[in-house]
Amino acid sequence: MKKPIMWVAALLTASCTPALKVEVANTTPTERDDETVEIAWSEVAALKGVTPDNIVVLNDDNEQIPSQVLFRGGTEPQALIFQTDADPMESKRFKLVTGQRENYPAEAFGRTVPERYDDYAWENNKVAYRLYGPALETSPEKLVTPGIDVWVKCTDKLVIDEWYARGNYHHNYGDGMDCYKVGVTLGSGASLPFAGGKFWMMGHNYATARTLDNGPIRTSVELTYAPFDVDGTPVTLTKIISLDANQRFNRMDNIYEGAFTEMPIAAGFVRHDVKQILTGEGWMALCEAVSDSKDPARDGDIYLGVILPGAEMLTDTLGHAVAVKAVKPGRTLTYYAGSGWSQGGVEDMKEWIEEIGQAQAAAVTPLKVTVLN
């Protein structure tokens, strides 16, 4: 009888603890899976005695669910996030209480990799990516590129540390591999100025990388780039990349600054052995054979996607497929870029289009969050 008594005691304690009630509503006809809900800490702070160390989120069954306090690189809490499913037009209730936070397993992680020429690598339980760092410029490879590399995964475990320690991530040991070729391109989702009919490449890899938050639900990094020339004008870029657990799409916040009035930005991916490419309003999807493999037929297909509302979709420009949109200096250009693998949870283009549809719905019309008094 001990367990039932403990369960009843926990339930009574939860029912007596001061709480903030939260309503989360899906106001669209699109189903949502594991969408991240965000509440400003200024609203959470209305809960008496709350701190980042004791905030607990309970679902409608009074069960604790994973949550994360965002600091965005600072020392003060900025927001609380958790994830939920939601059927079309469905509303759900949650409670915020103070209590003992469970030890949630990390499902999102990122770090600088000094042991591999300052790569910056990040991942969640579905996908993994990396950018190339300053030390690579003077390495034997001498690669300078803005491109994002895809690491395909067929496991929900985090693999970055293990794969770097292994030293051979171009071979599939049963959990995935790096079989994507970047070179001096956008890779799988970077952005560049697109002026005068050309891409304007940075002269260096990222200058600084600062991890802002690091799991269990969201990992995010701020990257800065040294000034580079865009048609005679020096331009700088600050980029914030955020990836949430259970999602395949990164949120990319880009701020270009310089003495320009308006500048077209191209965001997307290099074309390799493209099998299919589709576009819609504000999105583009591509399927291609793996591009860095001795046996592409064995290693499957990679799916890529970009979401940028209001952009012009160019499916074959300078060897790339890109979404193009003009930006003003100092303004944030936000787009979403993601990937999937035919051996890691995305079977075909139909399934990939469904993934893009959910990601676009979450970006354009996120779940509506109301903190109730």
pLDDT tens track for 25-45: 999 999 999 999 999 999 999
User: 80-139, pLDDT tens digit by residue?
Assistant: 999 999 999 999 999 999 999 999 999 999 999 999 999 999 999 999 999 999 999 999
Q: Which two tokens stand for residue 164?
A: 């770097």
Is 6 buried (19+), middle (13-18) or exposed (0-12) by CB count in 10 A? exposed
- Can you tell me the mean pLDDT for 223-240? 97
Residue 70 and residue 80 in contact, taking contact as beta carbons nearer than 8 Å: yes
| pLDDT number for residue 343 | 96
pLDDT(312) > 60: yes
Half-sphere exposure of 226 (CA within 13 A, CB side): 10
**Residue 312: both structure tokens together:** 């012009």
Task: Say what the pLDDT of residue 7 is.
Answer: 43
> Among 318, 314, 362, 317, which Cα is nearest to 338's?
362
| pLDDT given at position 16 | 58
pLDDT at 336 over 70: yes
Q: How far is residue 260 from each of residues 176, 236, 331, measured CA to CA in Å?
A: 43, 11, 12
* pLDDT at position 293: 83
- Which pLDDT score, from 0 to 100, does residue 181 have? 96
Give the residue from 212, 254, 238, 209 showing the smallest Cα distance to 70: 212
**Where do the structural domains in the chain lie, given as residue ranges?**
2-104+368-372, 108-265+326-334
Looking at per-residue pLDDT, the higher value among 170 and 96 belongs to 96
| DSSP of 188-219 | EEEEEEEETTEE---SSS-SEEEEEEE-SSEE
- Helix, coil or strand: residue 301: strand
Please tell me which of 167-171, 231-235, 369-373 the model is most confident about, judged by mean pLDDT.
Answer: 231-235
User: What average pLDDT does range 261-288 have in this prediction?
Assistant: 98
Helix (H) or strand (E) holding 111: strand 108-113
For residue 105, is the peptide bond before it cis, meaning its omega torsion is within 30 degrees of 0?
Answer: no
Whole-structure pTM value:
0.94
- β-strand pairing of 55-58 with 32-40: unpaired
Cα separations in angstroms, 14 against 96, 111, 224, 370: 10, 37, 45, 21
User: Taking all residues of the chain, what is their mean pLDDT, rounded to a whole number?
Assistant: 94
Reduced to 3 DSSP states, what percent helix, strand and coil does the chain have, rounded to the nearest 5? 15, 45, 40
Would you state the pLDDT for residue 49?
Answer: 96
Which residue from 31, 30, 35 is spatially nearest to 244, judged by alpha carbons?
Answer: 35
Q: Sorting pLDDT into bands at 50, 70 and 90, what band is 274?
A: very high
Beta carbons within 10 angstroms of residue 62's beta carbon: 14
Q: Looking at the predicted structure, is the pLDDT value of residue 1 above 60?
A: no
Amino acid at 171: H
Task: Look at the domain 2-104+368-372 and name its fold.
Answer: Immunoglobulin-like (2.60.40)
pLDDT tens digits for range 172-192: 999 999 999 999 999 999 999
Q: For 117-130, what is each residue's pLDDT tens digit? A: 999 999 999 999 99
At 296 the pLDDT is 83
Please give the average per-residue pLDDT across 280-292, as a whole number: 95
Q: Which amino acid is it at 160?
A: I
pLDDT of residue 15: 52
Taking the C-alpha atoms of residue 172 and residue 236, their distance in angstroms, rounded to an integer, is 38
CA 373 to mean position of chain CA atoms: 32
Task: Report how far residue 2's alpha carbon sits from residue 139's, in angstroms, rounded to the nearest whole number.
Answer: 62
Query: Which residues lie closer than 8 Å to 30 by C-beta, 6 or more apart?
Result: 88, 357, 358, 361
One-letter amino acid of 271: R
Q: How does 265-296 read in b/e, with b if 16+ C-beta sit within 10 Å?
A: bbbbbbbbeeeebbbeebbbbbbbbbbbbeeb
In the predicted structure, residue 75 carries a pLDDT above the cut 60: yes
38 neighbors 77 (Cβ within 8 angstroms): no
pLDDT of 3 higher than 60: no
Percent of the chain with pLDDT over 90: 91
Are residues 241 and 122 in contact, defined by beta-carbon separation less than 8 angstroms?
A: yes
For residues 314-333, average pLDDT? 98
